[in-house]
Amino acid sequence: MEEGARSCLLQSRSSLEQDIRASYLMDHMISDGVLTGDEEDRIRSKPTRREQAAALLELLLRKDNQAYISFYNALIRESYGDLASLLHNSLPLVSPEAEKSFSDGGTRHVQAVLSEGGVPQRPVVFVSRPALVNRVREKLYHLQKEPGWVTVFGMAGSGKSVLAAESVRDHALITECFPGGVHWLSIGQLDRADLLVRIQSLCFRLEQQSQEKDPSSSLHRSPGSLEEAKERLRFLMLHRYPRSLLILDDIWDSSVLKAFDIQCRVLLTTRDRSLADCVSGSKSEVAVESGLEEDQALEILALYVNGKPQRLPEQARSIVRECKGSPLVVSLVGALLREFPDRWAYYLHTLQQKKFKRIRKSSSYDYDALDQAMAASIQVLSEEHRELYIDLTVLEKDVKVPAKVLSVLWDLEPEEVEDVFQDFVNKSLLFRDCHHRPYLYYLHDLQLDFLAEMNRSGLESLHTKVVRQYQQRYSQGPPTSGDEECLYWFRFLTYHMAKANLTQELYSLMFSLDWVRTKAQIMGPAHLINDYVEYGAILDKEVRGHFQEFLSLNGHQLEQRPFPDVVQLALSQPDSSEVYRQALLQAQERATRG
């Protein structure tokens, strides 16, 4: 029953108790189908008229809008017009128009079911993601006929919980698939004792609701162990709440999921895609993209500052770009801007400087600051995997790498690296580009920024480790296969050396005619020219000039296939050039070798 009607009944309770004769009213209510014969008997068994009236009202309070309307009509029919007038103003509307009248798209029935089940409301600032919501609903429809699991997975702050709550805000879905209701349970990171408490309180809530509907059912003592709690929940779901949906929000651990492996219908949100592997029954999953479309993210910012997306300052787009449209970050920044509307440039700068601790706003979200939300994902990795994950700090933004690159860094077989990556991908800590074979992997910008911030002091030694591992693996000369791994080293070895402050090694590499020849052959001369510009500040100016000149003079030749003889080309440089000197040495060597 909706809130207004219930409140009105409670306020008029004593007047009603004083005057009504329950036995007259109950006949009408039975013929309206809102009261059962058993319920009537129970009420009639009360010894006095007043007690019968009190019992009828008590029962009515636990019923729905239809029961209120039927009771109201019964009062009119039995000439209690004055009492009926007390209830008149709060008569619930049940016309289809009224059912559609909620701004969030849910009907009164949906609202009642969701609030009874503890499903969170929409955030105050909300943008819809219809394609995603429909995907989840479609999977939930598969649970209409049989129990099973729907996993909604994605990285921290991608909007999984909001999406889960949104997907059940649908009249047809609830009435057709989950007439037993929707029950929300927030899980998060917890130990066995906490889990027991959560399940105990869920059982208590379910038993209390079922007792309200059927007072003859009794409340049980709290289950004392996890096994007992699981059995209690199994019983409740099977007998009292068949065809209901359990939403388990933010699951981290498969052992938690096992406690709910009781053949019921479950929607779970998690960062770990593989969690449902450990439970039985049918399973499906929906991936939540980590970022919103630019328009949607701008809409969130605009809603926070009560403006129009078109009128936002220029920094708005940069903020969205900087966090790749992460719903969490955009909302955190939006909430901050609501309080300090002049701080667009400041928050953009904060994001660019990766000062995540400053992007903090107490909100309904579980983590106060972005850094906590990110750190939580990493903490659940095994120690060994955590260390490996931290090594990924050395990757460049927006660069996708094959497992083989990390197999050099970690001295593992590529297959072993793939296994480690699988764990990261499952936990939404890494992304996989499956359009490419072999697969390529990459980090979300926010993850990379967070890692860099976390390992600020260790960054140099991480890059040194990359260079050393590379040198060990390719002590006989650089890879020449032309595959993704080979391309990676030709593009980024210089970057790692620069970051590692290995200036001497960077010199030797970039001022080596062999390197120039192989890189030009594999990648073309443009990349090489780029390197000299990029690291210009740390390289010897004069020698750099020799190499740049050589490349700019011979660029078109180095594009040709068959690939020209670089020593021959270099010999035409002025004899004061380092390029010429190396070419001469090589030519002499060739001559002595014959």
Binding site residues, ligand ADP, CB under 6 A: 123, 125-127, 129, 154, 156-162, 269, 300, 327-328, 331, 363-365
Based on CB atoms, which residue is closest to ligand ADP, 161 or 407? Answer: 161
Are the CB atoms for 29 and 75 separated by under 8 Å? Answer: no
Counted residue by residue, the chain has a size of 594
Based on CB atoms, which residue is closest to ligand ADP, 126 or 474? Answer: 126
From residue 65, how far is each of 94, 100, 174, 299 by CA, in Å?
8, 16, 17, 37
Cβ 475 to ligand ADP shortest distance, Å: 45
The CB density around residue 380, as the number of other CB atoms within 10 Å, is: 15
From residue 107, how far is each of 99, 134, 139, 184, 346 by CA, in Å?
5, 18, 22, 19, 42
Q: For strand 431-433 and strand 245-251, is the pairing parallel, antiparallel, or unpaired?
A: unpaired
Cα(361)–Cα(288) distance, integer angstroms: 24
Cβ 21 to ligand ADP shortest distance, Å: 52
Cα(193)–Cα(167) distance, integer angstroms: 31
531-535 long-range contacts (CB < 8 A, ≥24 apart) are 531/494, 534/494, 535/494, 535/498, 535/506, 535/510
Provide φ and ψ at 350, rounded to 5°. -60, -40
Cα(79)–Cα(146) distance, integer angstroms: 49
Cβ 367 to ligand ADP shortest distance, Å: 8
Based on CB atoms, which residue is closest to ligand ADP, 249 or 485? Answer: 249
Cβ 301 to ligand ADP shortest distance, Å: 11
Cβ 252 to ligand ADP shortest distance, Å: 12
Structure tokens at 463: 């890059």
Cβ 360 to ligand ADP shortest distance, Å: 13
Q: What is the DSSP string of 26-70?
A: HHHHHHTTSS-HHHHHHHHTSSSHHHHHHHHHHHHHTS-HHHHHH
Are the CB atoms for 420 and 388 separated by under 8 Å? Answer: yes
Based on CB atoms, which residue is closest to ligand ADP, 325 or 479? Answer: 325
Cβ 383 to ligand ADP shortest distance, Å: 24
Which residues lie below 8 Å from residue 473, measured CB to CB, with a gap of 6+?
408
Are the CB atoms for 327 and 363 separated by under 8 Å? Answer: no
Cβ 372 to ligand ADP shortest distance, Å: 12
Based on CB atoms, which residue is closest to ligand ADP, 302 or 509? Answer: 302
Based on CB atoms, which residue is closest to ligand ADP, 83 or 165? Answer: 165
Based on CB atoms, which residue is closest to ligand ADP, 129 or 496? Answer: 129
Separate counts of helices (H) and strands (E) for the chain: 32, 8
Using Cβ positions, the residue closest to ligand ADP within the complex turns out to be 159
Cβ 454 to ligand ADP shortest distance, Å: 19
Based on CB atoms, which residue is closest to ligand ADP, 350 or 554? Answer: 350
Based on CB atoms, which residue is closest to ligand ADP, 291 or 525? Answer: 291
Cβ 400 to ligand ADP shortest distance, Å: 23
Cα(563)–Cα(507) distance, integer angstroms: 25
Q: What is the DSSP string of 432-462?
A: EETTSSS-EEE--HHHHHHHHHHTGGGHHHH
Based on CB atoms, which residue is closest to ligand ADP, 148 or 159? Answer: 159
Based on CB atoms, which residue is closest to ligand ADP, 183 or 496? Answer: 183
Q: For strand 440-442 and strand 282-287, is the pairing parallel, antiparallel, or unpaired?
A: unpaired
Cβ 368 to ligand ADP shortest distance, Å: 11
Cα(106)–Cα(249) distance, integer angstroms: 21
